[in-house]
Structures are given as structure tokens and as C-alpha cells.
Structure 1
Amino acid sequence: MTSMNARGDAALIEEILSYHRAHIADLEAALALSARVEERQGAVSSFPPGLTRRLSALLADTRAHQAREEAWLSSFVETGVGAAHATDLLDVDHDLMQEHLERLVRLTGDYLPPSEADADWRGLYALCRKYDGELREHMRLEDRVLFPRLREEIRGLVPEQSHAPSGG
């Protein structure tokens, strides 16, 4: 049994999983608002073209990332195996999510709605800003706290290999 069952790590994992639930709820709400605003505003306004498609792609990638992360966390907590490789793969996922956020920031003008934006449009940008902040904090917790702990723990579980020649 690994130290991942310690209270501190369990609380950290629960915090990360609570972010997962919030991310999906926020993205689903943002996607619905975006579709509504896009339909109402049409091509004659300054509503960012393609924002609804971007949010849909972001939701799909977020779900896929979370599924991989949750499967890996569950497996690691139960078996203590696979952290080093999995954290490397999740780092790649985080790079992809970072790219999504940067595109979203550019597309929305840093989440600043124009003066003609209605309440839905303003609410959409507020949700996008909230998601952005929470996802960045989520990734920071994983990249700077959880993953280093797990990598260190794995180093402690794997016996060092001797490179000295054997025999007489």
C-alpha cells in the first residue's frame, strides 16, 4: 500500500476531482449560453465566430482528459503502479489544455465582452473566465504538487539498479 492513502494525498485528490465536476458543469453551461448568444447575434455582431465550436471541442477534450486522469488516479491509489509514465502523459494533456485556454483567451478578447453584449453574452464570458482560472489552478496543483509527489514516491518504490559489473 502506498502513501497515496495518506490523508493529505487523499484530500488533494478529492480537491482535484471536485474541479473535474465543476469544469464539466461550467463548460456545459458555457456551451449552452454560447449557442444561444450565437443564434441571437448571428453574423452581424462582434460575437466571436467559432466560439461555440471551440467550446464544444474544449468540452470533449476536457472529458477525455478527465477520464484518463481519473482512471490513472484510481489505478495508482489501488496498486501504486504507473505514476511516472502516466504523469508524463498527463503533462502532454495539460499542454493541450493550455493551448485550448490560450485560443479561448484570444477568441474572446481576454473574456472582455463588448459594450453591446447582452446578459447571456456577459454571463458566457464570466463562465469562460471562471473555467480558465479553475483549470489553471487544477493543473498547477497537479503539475507542482501531486505529480512531483507521485514521481518521488515511485522513485522510492523502484529499487536502484546497480551499474557495477557482476561476478568475479
Structure 2
Amino acid sequence: MKNIFYYESKIGLIKIEESGISVTKLDFVSNNDKENIIEGSKTELLIEIVKQLDEYFDGTRKVFDLPIEPEGTEFQKKVWKALIEIPYGETKSYGEIAKIIGNDKAARAVGMANNKNPIAIIIPCHRVIGANGNLVGYAGGLELKEKLLELEKRSIIVE
């Protein structure tokens, strides 16, 4: 059974979906979508997800320890697995991710897989930047991407 929960975070409203076993989706809710909110029951897994997100936003959690089950192609899943390996507070380019997954020429395809990431933040697609170091493409918008990267940088400096 799919459960949906809306979490009011420090960066805005986030929609979390879980299957009873794992996180299946985590997206940002735009102001236009706020009036269509229908919420499921708050399960133990949803409580743990929110706890870990709170810790992330407070700067005390660097790695998520949650079961995830993103739906996508084998290529997308390979890219998302590589994204999870990007250390907190660091960034990689699309080309670097392409090399990590063993396909040097796949930078554009990595970008497309990044764009289809169904579990934002936990699969940290915000840590992927352009080859020139610029912030490019993010489902939640570049302003949000910048906020997440700044949050991680501040937390590292505080340690």
C-alpha cells in the first residue's frame, strides 16, 4: 500500500511517498499544487523519513539510512546509485558521473537521468553541477539547488 505524507521543511513543502517497505518518491510541492493535498496515514517509515530529513536540514545528518526503491530504467538506477556516493558537501559534474558509471560519453544521458530522479535530496541530484562549475538544472529550481548546497557547506564549516 502506498502512503503519502506532506512534510513542511525549512525549504518548502515536500511530498513523500512510501510503499510500506521503502521510500518510492520525494518531490517538492509547488504553490499551485498545495490545494490538492490528500494525505495518507503516518507510518513508522514516514516518521523515520521525516526525522532523518529534519536532521539533514539541521546539518546533523550527512548520510541517509533509509530503504529506497526508485522506479526507473537500469541506466537511471545506475546513475542514481552513483549520485548517492557523492559525499555530503561535495559536487560532481555530469561528465564525472558518466565516467563513474563507466560510460565517458554519457554526460547528457546522466543529465536526463538526474532530471528523472524520483527521490530528491535522499538521492542527491542537487550535488551534480555543470562541467564549468555552474549550477544547472534542478527539478525544484536552481534557487533551491543553491540552498541545499549552501546548507551542506555551512554544516561542514561548523564541524
Task: State the TM-score, normalizing by the size of structure 2.
Answer: 0.26
Which has a greater percent of strand?
A: 2
Q: Larger Rg: 1 or 2?
A: 1
Which has a greater percent of helix?
A: 1
Task: State the TM-score, normalizing by the size of structure 1.
Answer: 0.25
